[in-house]
Structure 1
Amino acid sequence: MNQSSEFQALCNLICAHTVARCIHMIAELGVADVLDDEPASAAALADAAGMNADALDRMLRLLAANGVFVREGDGYMHTPMSVLLRSDHSRSLRPFARMIGMPAIWRGVTDLEHAARTGMPALNQAQMISYLADHPAESSLFNQAMTSKSADAVAAVVETYDFGAFDRIADIGGGRGHLLQAILERTAATGILFDLPQVIDDAAGIDPRQIQLVGGDFFRDPLPVADAYILMDILHGWADDRAADILSGIHRSIPPHGRVFVIETLVSGSPGPHFGKTLDIMMLAVTGGRERTGAEYGKLLESTGFYLERVTPTESQYSIVEAAVA
């Protein structure tokens, strides 16, 4: 890479947040939903989405330069990435893009200086949970985003690991229970979905004959007894001391033969780009949590009465960290 290309590459990285914000806005305003199989002009799309035509054209031009949409004549068409912003796509990332662009989330990134100086976000995880409890529409969007973000991961997890040895499986902080339901479809087990009361209210459509819905706070309330405990995208939201509190709560309830499955995006040891490294900074800025390596999860588990049995990669960005009672 010559000096000029290094200069341009760094300029692009310095302004990369602009591309992200365009994706957030396109997702929030539903532009991908109003674009069908035929090319459509920015004016037509703007009229359908309630946007300014010139502003949308410029945003789409930038996104097309990055593979999200493509310019076709005087209009725009979908690409394999842009269709993932449609609400009706089976692997839709629209809720995830909208959630990352929510003021409460994005503000953490813009306030990154606070985290850089103190090691803590301007708004910590407990405050974020309280905020979502007071803003039910954003709380519902957050739960939708967690479901959409992990769509590929859920399929990858159930394809990778056989949970058939367990009779009762508890999904701790499981949101709408998408992973638990996928596991139970393949086993004869019964399930328990444990999450905050307002989250459980949002999951009220789940069949109670298969899954018991339990509202509570995993820092204060006893956790249900089960043979297996699933924690997907939970521990990364918390600093080590609070993550240890969650695991200790499980340790107080788990039978001696039980297993814990921590399903997270592990930080890669390779020097190149990796989603785990990006997500780690999001956690630093927004929740005060962190992404961890497999070895770091091993130390965290050992400090709370478990031992690491194995780390199993999946076909998604997630890995399955399996632990047993020490």
Structure 2
Amino acid sequence: MTDTPAAARRMLDLLTGYWASQAVHAAASLGLADQLADGPLTSTDLAGRTGAHEPSLARLLRFLAELGVLAHDPGGAYRTTELGRTLRTEEPGSMRDLALLYGKEFYAGWGRLLHTVRTGGNAFEHVHGAAMYAYFGRTPELTAKFDRAMAAGSAFFAPVPALHDFTGARTVVDVGGGNGALLATVLRAHPHLDGVLFDTAHVVDAARRALAGSDLADRIAFEAGDYYDKVPAGGDVYLLSRVLHGRDDERCVRVLRRVRAAVPDGGALLIVERVLPVDGSPSLAAWFDVHMMAVAGGVERTAAEYRALLGRAGFALSAVHGLPLDTALLVAEPARPDR
């Protein structure tokens, strides 16, 4: 027999889930975690610093404490928790830019999810008048916001350098490498490697500026271009992170064929994506599959589906390794004719 009160409470949690996400978005927009970086403050202090309406802010702070984002001290002041510190701008692995993106542009797209399910059309485009990548390319400000948010969502890169044998490699090419976080992780773990960061011109320019004064400045070359047309040659290992899930099968194969044309026999392609489980086990991949459908016009895939795409492009999938946050590293090698 169904435990009706428990089921009702669980359903209420589901129905009000956006209340929490919008409260976090408001906290990120006001920069509350940054304001609390030096110690606890009262709602009056925070209202003065942020220009917010104090009585309304006090109610938001109480809710954020309920969510565990803040803690309410006995004296009436608020401080950040470990969870809340992820919203600090300067915190390593900061998720503030993700909160700003998810709570506004992506939130608006999800509000039209039913449109996607009924029509197959893209909810983000339905709301914003342009597909996601085109929309965020409209202005430098939107582009920068999107790029910062994507850079913030890269906490799962750390194990990658230990999951592949880079011993015989000399050059690693990161295709669609964004801010270079994955490439930098690999290069710092393997000092004998040099890297090439390949992406669109504005992304490459931003990455070059960000890495100019780093310990990797002399080990990374930057190249701009379109991976639908050509991928830089000369690498031993190629990286492709969170590119394929944003594209349909035919565009994925087109990208993979460009990569295959550059990868030498004996080389490797390392892909970072979420992989849908086929046994029904819980996974963020199922969540992101609907997100990609509604917002980006993309799709998360099973390992078998990735194997099929890779096969069409001349690769063989040789291994799948689990990464944090339900992501995975898929290792592909040029297919031998006898396979």
- TM-score, scaled relative to structure 2: 0.88
Q: Distance in 2 between matches of 1:324 and 1:160?
A: 14
Are the counterparts in 2 of residues 160 and 314 from structure 1 also a CA contact under 8 Å?
no
| RMSD (Å) for aligned C-alpha atoms | 2.2
Q: Corresponding residue for 1:222?
A: 230
Q: Corresponding residue for 2:43?
A: 42
Deviations 1:219-248 (A, max 9, x none): 2x2111122111111111112222222112
Q: Distance in 2 between matches of 1:233 and 1:55?
A: 39
Q: Superposed, which structure 2 residues align to 1:188-227 within 5 Å?
A: 188-205=192-209, 206-207=211-212, 209-219=218-228, 221-225=229-233, 226-227=235-236
How far 1:85 sits from its partner (Å)?
Answer: 0.7
Letter in 2 for 1:164: T
How far 1:170 sits from its partner (Å)?
Answer: 1.0
Which SS does the other structure have where 2:332 is aligned?
strand
Letter in 2 for 1:16: G
How far 1:289 sits from its partner (Å)?
Answer: 0.7
Inter-CA distance 31–269: structure 2 relative to 1 (3 Å threshold): farther
Q: Distance in 2 between matches of 1:315 and 1:287?
A: 22
How far 1:36 sits from its partner (Å)?
Answer: 3.6
Percent of matched pairs sharing the same residue: 31
Deviations 1:140-161 (A, max 9, x none): 12222222211x3122222443
Q: Distance in 1 between matches of 2:83 and 2:71?
A: 10
Q: Distance in 1 between matches of 2:182 and 2:53?
A: 40
Q: Is there any run of 5+ residues in structure 2 with no aligned partner, and where?
A: none
Which SS does the other structure have where 1:24 is aligned?
helix
Letter in 2 for 1:77: R
Are the counterparts in 1 of residues 110 and 123 from structure 2 also a CA contact under 8 Å?
no
Q: Distance in 1 between matches of 2:315 and 2:77?
A: 57
Q: Corresponding residue for 1:52?
A: 53
Inter-CA distance 143–5: structure 2 relative to 1 (3 Å threshold): same
Q: Distance in 2 between matches of 1:292 and 1:323?
A: 16
Which SS does the other structure have where 2:331 is aligned?
strand
Q: Corresponding residue for 1:169?
A: 172
Q: Which deviates further from its counterpart, 172-181 or 154-163? A: 154-163
Match of residue 258, structure 1, among 267, 270, 287: 267
Q: Superposed, which structure 2 residues align to 1:136-151 within 5 Å?
A: 136-150=140-154
Match of residue 132, structure 1, among 131, 136, 140: 136
Q: How many equivalent residue pairs?
A: 323
- TM-score, scaled relative to structure 1: 0.91
Q: Is there any run of 5+ residues in structure 1 with no aligned partner, and where?
A: none
Deviations 1:64-95 (A, max 9, x none): 22222122232322211001111121121112
